[in-house]
Amino acid sequence: MLRKILTVAIIAGVLSGMGISVVQEFTTTPLILHAEKYENAAAPGADEDAKFLPAAFVLIHSGETHEGSEDSDWAPAEGLERLLFTGLSNIITGVGFALLLVAGYVIYGGRVDGRLGVIWGAAGFAVVALAPGLGLPPELPGLMAADLDGRQAWWFGAAFCTGLGIWLMVFRRERLFHILGILVLILPHMVGAPHPDDVGGDVPPELAAHFAAASLVTAAVFWAMLGWLSGTLFERFSAED
């Protein structure tokens, strides 16, 4: 069983990571490179916490370390090196998320195929990207942001509450648990995500809005690929067993 879990997760994660890296080259990466021009042109001494991107929890961009920051000791060079590091980050992220999906299939215990895998992938997208993005949308470098620790704590709380709420509404039959699941889902948004006192930054708002939308759509594509691949491979290996 452990061998099957690892095999399915590695194959699905590698293929999904490679595929989404290609998609990013035409969607989010050009926006990041464009935003870095504004960031590098800004005055030195910008807040180091502004480099944090909630999208990093969806798909890790190697471009999060910006060459324009004085505190950055190293950043991948533009071109092939940056593409390779971005692809490697996406593959590692894909394998990690695939392990969670396949572990969920095993705990579920029912028949799993590619179609059901897409549904599980949609739930993963909601937990990791969609719900946290409602309070902390993916941010480009150069934007003003609240304290890093507070944003990270809220992100993890939102992801946990979303996953728990979905589980209560889908896998529990009692109406009381369904109501509790809805309350858990909206709890982090009632608390509210931390935001800076002043809104703004060096990046034009149109570019920031485009990046937020592109990041969420890219994440949805990634989770659809990951869910379908993991579900299909899990079904195939289960049939062989």
User: Is residue 198 pLDDT above 50, yes or no?
Assistant: yes
Mean pLDDT of 175-187: 96
Tens-place pLDDT, residues 115-144? 999 999 999 999 999 999 999 998 887 777
Q: What is the mean pLDDT of the chain?
A: 84
The helix (run of H) or strand (run of E) holding residue 151 is: helix 148-171
Tens-place pLDDT, residues 37-92? 876 665 454 444 444 344 443 454 333 434 444 444 566 667 677 788 889 999 99
Domains identified in the chain, total number: 1
User: Is residue 217 pLDDT above 70, yes or no?
Assistant: yes
| Alpha-carbon 82 to chain mean position | 19
Which of 51, 24, 49, 73 shows the shortest CA–CA distance to 147? 49
pLDDT at 58: 45
pLDDT at 39: 66
Mapped onto helix, strand or coil, the DSSP state of residue 143 is strand
What residues form DSSP beta bridges with 201?
143
Mapped onto helix, strand or coil, the DSSP state of residue 73 is coil
Phi-psi region of 129 (alpha: psi -120 to 50; beta: other; left: phi over 0): alpha
* C-alpha distance from residue 201 to each of 32, 109, 193 (Å): 14, 49, 19
CA distance 236 to 238: 5
pLDDT at 59: 52
Mapped onto helix, strand or coil, the DSSP state of residue 74 is coil
Question: Which range marks the domain in which residue 225 is found?
Answer: 2-240
pTM (two decimals): 0.83
- Does 169 or 140 have the greater pLDDT score? 169
User: Is residue 13 pLDDT above 90, yes or no?
Assistant: yes
Mapped onto helix, strand or coil, the DSSP state of residue 51 is helix
- Does 59 or 34 have the greater pLDDT score? 34
Tokens of 234: 């899990």
Mean pLDDT of 163-176: 94
What count of Cα atoms within 13 Å lies in the side-chain half-sphere of residue 206? 0
